Amino acid sequence: MAAREANTGNPAAFFTHPASQPPSILAFLGGWIKKAPFFKRHTYPHFRWIWGGLWIGFCLLEGIGPALAASEAMPPVVQWIPEDALLVLEVPNPREVLDIVLAPEILQQIQQLPAWKNFAAAPNYRELQQGVQFLEKSLQIDWVAGVKKFLGGGLTISVHPKEALLLAVDCEDPEMLQQLHELLRGFASIEAAKQKQANRVKSTEYRGQTCWSFGPQEAHCLIGRRLLLTNKPDLLKQVLDRRADAKLGRLADSPYYQTARRATAEPCSARLYAHLKALPGVPQLQKVLQTSSEPLPALLFTGVVESLRRSTWLALSLRIEGNQAVLQAAMDGKPSEESLAKFAIASDPGQGALPPVETPRVLASVSFYRDLHGFYAAKDKLFPERTGGLIFFENMMGIFFTGRDLTEEVFGQLGPEVRLVVAAQDYDPAIGTPQIQLPAFAVIFRMKEPDKFFEIVEEAWQKALGLVNFTRGQQALPGLIMDKGIHGQTKYTVAYFSAKDEKDRKALDVRFNFRPTLARTGPYAIISSTEQLACDLIDALQKELKQSPTGQTLPLSGVHSVAVVRSSQIASLLRTNREALVRQNMVEKGNSRSAAENEIDMLITILGVVENLKLQIASKSDGAQATLEAKVQLP
């Protein structure tokens, strides 16, 4: 016989109920969540709660019982959430995401993951599987359909101060939600009776709704087809207050939230709002917001970090269109005119990064707007402690550009448009193939006075190659042979290693990945790790210049960083280097050969699924905006 449930009749007591042991079904779920390998890694308690909530929700759906439907038109959950929310994830149409994530092909791929295999081998997995099978059999519905039906109406997760969490799920079928609740309630009572303990199921009436608790630090409420589940009963009370009284402070009325909503694209499949100023000292966030003391990361990321640091809110939205997913981020901060990070922002409208260069075999193409002159001029303020990297850089540049003022006569000669290209290589059969195949890379600068400045660059380049040869000679290593080449009408300087004495042309030393080349086309100086990429870039830049009516490439207005990644090409390169990667994984992670193979193969598979990625970050008058587009090729 089930133990008697407690209806406190006293809402104050309910919302502040003491800690006690949960009944066994919740204990089982809680225990499983804690023990599952995936959750073990996430010590942050919120993750466990979110996943736990989803699980309870699924269990609720799977139950069969008397049909009790109480449908009502549901306003967005943000109209019930208190305005102090720190993070809010809204998934207005989960089916769009679930149809992809739970597609049989994807599930099949997931089941091949080593992490999944480990999880499936754990004893808890069998218990879980039995539970799911029982529910599937009882309900005559498979779990995939069940999850879709349960979450299909919408999902909202919010994080509040004092680690309070709210999970709101709009189920497609309110009757099933109600029925499952009854089922779990029954389980809880029976379990308590079995253990000869007092029934821990509690309920109370508040604002015309029945609020339930099956254990400590848990409270929930069913309102029509909506489940509200929280780890802090007081949060549930606040939510019900706002549902009943629209005058109380609601997130939907917050000007920050409203601005954030307007800044991201609608309609979307999911959106995230973060109140950055109110977020407590999350160590990871604090780390991100620190300015790097190393010049290169500072040059690349200071602008973005500064925008983030000055922002009150951050909004993310995910849009899925066919096989393309677009993630858009917006924030309301941007570097000020007085900021040291202003070198990363175009001061004039119409200025910005140039379009990324496309070449054959390209893996990644990145384009920046960075005022190198301004950056270098501010270096003493940016890096007051002068790091080893900066000292080395200045020493080297002092040798290469002897007798010239680096700030004015070197960096002052470069335009703010900098482009980087990484591409796979085709190896010349007459030379051979290296054992480890590395991609080629190149950087392209725009020169303000190319006729005058390129010769200076050429001199510096040859000094650098001489230094490399001298150093290698000291180490008894083969040196580079310098030569001149012509591609079309363009003359360039190339340096290469002789392969004449090489015995195994199919497994050459790693140095045969390099054939450093300097070339000039129009106003652009190309510094490339290989001759092949330099020639490809000469072609691409000449084509770009020809296509421009002004003879100058048009910039992307306001954009300060663009990156295009051909993920499938990277997968192909990784496939070529699979053996080396597997060996590296073995010593780096301490994996067995088979575990290392699994990890690398999985990485290659994932990269193969994502065909292309494009990230664009722009500064706007009202803040900063980032857009990440991913084109996926699902199996």
**Interface residues with other proteins (CB under 8 A)?**
435-436, 474-478, 501, 510, 579-580, 583-584, 586-592
- Helix (H), strand (E) at residue 632: strand 623-632
Least Å distance between CB 580 and other proteins?
5
Q: In terms of CB distance, is 19 or 476 closer to other proteins? A: 476
Least Å distance between CB 436 and other proteins?
7
Q: In terms of CB distance, is 466 or 479 closer to other proteins? A: 479
In a 3-state reduction of DSSP, which class is residue 247?
A: coil
Can you say whether the dihedral through the CA atoms of 409, 413, 416, 419 is positive or negative?
A: negative
Q: In terms of CB distance, is 69 or 477 closer to other proteins? A: 477
Q: In terms of CB distance, is 592 or 621 closer to other proteins? A: 592
Alpha helices in 517-592 (DSSP H): 531-547, 567-576, 578-589
Least Å distance between CB 197 and other proteins?
24
Q: In terms of CB distance, is 48 or 261 closer to other proteins? A: 48
Least Å distance between CB 388 and other proteins?
18
In a 3-state reduction of DSSP, which class is residue 8?
A: coil
Least Å distance between CB 591 and other proteins?
7
Q: In terms of CB distance, is 120 or 580 closer to other proteins? A: 580
Q: What is the DSSP letter of 508?
A: B
Least Å distance between CB 510 and other proteins?
6
Strand spans (E) along 189-312: 202-206, 209-213, 219-223, 226-230, 270-275
Q: In terms of CB distance, is 40 or 277 closer to other proteins? A: 40
Q: How far apart are CA 473 and CA 470, in angstroms?
A: 5
Q: How far apart are CA 468 and CA 480, in angstroms?
A: 8
Least Å distance between CB 589 and other proteins?
5
Least Å distance between CB 121 and other proteins?
13
Q: How far apart are CA 527 and CA 519, in angstroms?
A: 7
Q: In terms of CB distance, is 83 or 163 closer to other proteins? A: 163
What is the pairing mode between strands 164-170 and 313-321?
unpaired
Instruction: Give the end-to-end CA distance of the chain in Å, rounded to a whole number.
Output: 52
Q: In terms of CB distance, is 46 or 511 closer to other proteins? A: 511
Least Å distance between CB 420 and other proteins?
25
Cα angle 52-57-58, degrees, rounded to a multiple of 5: 100
Least Å distance between CB 511 and other proteins?
10
Q: In terms of CB distance, is 142 or 504 closer to other proteins? A: 504
Q: Which residues are CB-contacts of 470 (< 8 A; sequence separation ≥ 6)? A: none
In a 3-state reduction of DSSP, which class is residue 491?
A: strand
Q: In terms of CB distance, is 217 or 462 closer to other proteins? A: 217
DSSP string computed for 147-216: HHHHHTTEEEEEEETTTEEEEEEE-S-HHHHHHHHHHHHHHHHHHHHHTT-----EEEEETTEEEEESST
Q: Are 157 and 167 in contact (CB under 8 A)?
A: yes
Sole residue written with tokens 């997968």: 571
Q: Which residues pair with 165 in a beta bridge?
A: 159
Q: In terms of CB distance, is 350 or 590 closer to other proteins? A: 590
Q: In terms of CB distance, is 194 or 583 closer to other proteins? A: 583
List the one residue out of 495, 584, 492 whose CA is nearest residue 534. Answer: 492
Least Å distance between CB 119 and other proteins?
15
CA distances from 417 to 47, 341, 343, 392, 553 (A): 42, 16, 11, 24, 10
Q: Are 159 and 85 in contact (CB under 8 A)?
A: yes
Q: In terms of CB distance, is 451 or 501 closer to other proteins? A: 501
Least Å distance between CB 296 and other proteins?
22
- Helix (H), strand (E) at residue 320: strand 313-321
The torsion angles phi and psi of 103, rounded to 5 degrees, stand at: -65, 140
Least Å distance between CB 578 and other proteins?
12
Residue 515 CA, distance from chain mean position: 34
Q: How far apart are CA 536 and CA 195, in angstroms?
A: 75
Q: In terms of CB distance, is 19 or 587 closer to other proteins? A: 587
Least Å distance between CB 475 and other proteins?
4
Q: How far apart are CA 610 and CA 37, in angstroms?
A: 26
Q: How far apart are CA 571 and CA 612, in angstroms?
A: 11
Peptide bond into 439 cis (omega under 30): no
Cα angle 258-262-264, degrees, rounded to a multiple of 5: 125
Least Å distance between CB 502 and other proteins?
11
